[in-house]
Chain A
Amino acid sequence: GENVEQHPSTLSVQEGDSAVIKCTYSDSASNYFPWYKQELGKGPQLIIDIRSNVGEKKDQRIAVTLNKTAKHFSLHITETQPEDSAVYFCAASTWVGGKLIFGQGTELSVKP
């Protein structure tokens, strides 16, 4: 069935370093890939998304890359700051309005 795998489950970096989180998906029909940030006690907040007709998208310190052939996509955060510390989830969807299939989450810790 549909599945999204996410690695690593935890990631600790020093402030200013880069962080990379990787996801793979099983359904080749997936065409929409959002990334969410979840802070303690809050709901997931969208930070960036990418659609299948694009290979890379960047928004300031955050970038996402997509490799449809290999069915994987990655989140890159540069110049990390302590406020980037949170749980990050990748997700995939196969149609506009369709359900999101989430990865397991990555707990990112940025140490000052």
Chain B
Amino acid sequence: EPEVTQTPSHQVTQMGQEVILRCVPISNHLYFYWYRQILGQKVEFLVSFYNNEISEKSEIFDDQFSVERPDGSNFTLKIRSTKLEDSAMYFCASSEVIRAGEETQYFGPGTRLLVL
């Protein structure tokens, strides 16, 4: 069964460093998402991406964040200058979304980011 994959599974970085989190969405999917989950809190939406551009973004997704689909398979989240509060589990999701009834979002296993 196709699944969303993410690398790395864990990342430790120093405050102020740049990190890139990578995702490979399910191959025929058209919508891509990043969410994050701070330990013990709810899953929060960061950004959605469709047709090579940002479709929607949250207040969390400020200028320190960027997303890219550098090729036909990868979808990346870059944090330019990490802060302590960026420590969280980051989930990538993808969705086929042709019409109502096909909007299920499939989540990857996550990347646990720890900023020291």
Contacts and interface: CB of A to CB of B under 8 A. Distances in A.
| A, B from the same assembly | yes
B109 A96 contact: no
Residue among B31, B35, B55, B105 with max Cβ neighbours from chain A (10 Å)? B105
Nearest to B9: A41
Interface stretch (B13-21, B43-51, B70-78): B43-51
Given A96-B97, A98-B48, A99-B45, A36 B58 contact: no
Contacts, number: 62
B42 A49 contact: no
Contacts of A41: 109
A66 B33 CA distance: 26
A61 interface: no
Interface of A: 32, 34, 36, 41-46, 49, 51, 89, 91, 93, 96-105
Given A89-B43, A97-B48, A97-B97, 8 more contacts: A43-B107, A44-B107, A89-B42, A96-B103, A98-B56, A99-B56, A100-B45, A104-B42
